[in-house]
Amino acid sequence: MGSVKDVIIGEKPEQNRMGKGNFVFSDRYSVFDYGEMPDQIEGKGKSLCMISAYFFERLDEAGIKNHYIGLVENGEVKKVKEVQEPVNVIQTEIVRILKPERVNGYDYGIFGKEKSNFLIPLEVIYRNTLPEGSSVFRRLERGEITVEQLGLKEYPEAGVVLKEPFLDVSTKLEDKDRYLTWDEAKKISGLDEEEIELLKEITLKVNRIITENTEKAKIRNEDGKLEFAFDDKREMMVVDTIGTPDECRFSFEGIQISKEVLRKYYRRTEWYRRIEKLKGNERWREEAGKPPKLNTEIRNAVSDMYKACCNEITGIRFFDVDSLRNVVREIRDFLGD
């Protein structure tokens, strides 16, 4: 069980054999690495499930290996165009989750010993633009990244479009994700240079597929994240969830239509100011206290945002909801953008 989706294991993965399981997408949500928040967003789970399935099927068409098997409706495995109504369950192949040992930090030695059938302990981020709220700006201020590394000649303003996608990498299995250099990523994951390059190549291909499909709905794919695993033959594959407003930062007519809407709402609260001071402490979540609930208007608007995104990205009217353009206008009014 995760903060926003649950995994039901049907066949447990073994050392040399992948398993099979179901991802159950919930209406829960999480921001700022806190975990499950106090509200639920009606329709969010089904919307994200359908969008992710849609993009996995585009990866299949492009010959990009992934763990998707199909959507589950009434016990049957189906494709997006075969379901009678939106569902919140995807069946996938599953691999082992190996954990780094907690010894004076994190010991990743196990990833150099094991050869196949496990989640690669990295999260890869592609950046097509640098929207407001991007962590890149904070890292530039701290000197953790340079303007030159971004392929720019001068300090960027929020909203700048990059000539070429910038690829970032972070940890995946630590208590708090931290950005890595590619040399550090190679070292902790046990990947060789050729596999690191393959990781980047696949990320760029998936980015193009997501961008091409969202552009049809006039949605801009600002940035996004991907996870990878090795199958039982050590072939790299895309896993987890892809192309959704939770994995990506999308915008429509200049307004972000992703979890950033919820982040913006909470950045105005005293609870957010507390977690910013406490992050880094081992018990920061407990010390910060419970976050406040969303007001009804913003909760309903975000629910409509997810549903409208699903309709317009897939090109199928799964939900009886207003157009994305009108939903975005409503969100703009709430946030004062």
Q: What is the mean pLDDT of residues 203-214?
A: 98
Q: Which domain holds residue 156?
A: 5-335
Model confidence at 258, in pLDDT bands (50, 70, 90)?
confident
Query: Residue 58: what are its φ and ψ, rounded to 5°?
Result: -70, -35
Q: What average pLDDT does this structure show over 221-237?
A: 97
Q: What is the pLDDT of residues 297-322, one digit of tens each?
A: 999 999 999 999 999 999 999 999 99
Q: What is the CATH number of the domain that holds 207?
A: 3.30.470.20
Residue-level pLDDT at 255: 87
The confidence score (pLDDT) of residue 131 equals: 84
Who's near 167: CB < 8 A, 6+ residues apart?
124, 125, 126, 127, 200, 203, 204
Torsion of CA 285, 290, 296, 302, to 10 degrees: 10
The total domain count for the chain is 1
Is the pLDDT at 337 greater than 70, yes or no? no
Nearest of 84, 2, 74 to residue 35 by alpha carbon: 2
Residues 6+ apart with CB under 8 A from 224: 125, 126, 207, 210, 242, 243, 247, 248, 249
Based on C-alpha coordinates, what's the Rg of the chain?
20
Rounded CA-CA distance 328/325 in Å is 5
User: Is the confidence at residue 1, as pLDDT, over 70?
Assistant: no
Sole residue written with tokens 């998707």: 68
**Mean pLDDT over all residues of the chain?**
93
Give the pLDDT confidence score for residue 313 in this predicted structure.
97
d(CA 310, CA 51): 6
255 neighbors 63 (Cβ within 8 angstroms)? no
Range 159-171 average pLDDT: 94
Q: What is the pLDDT of residue 119?
A: 97
Per-residue confidence band for 250, with pLDDT thresholds at 50, 70 and 90: very high
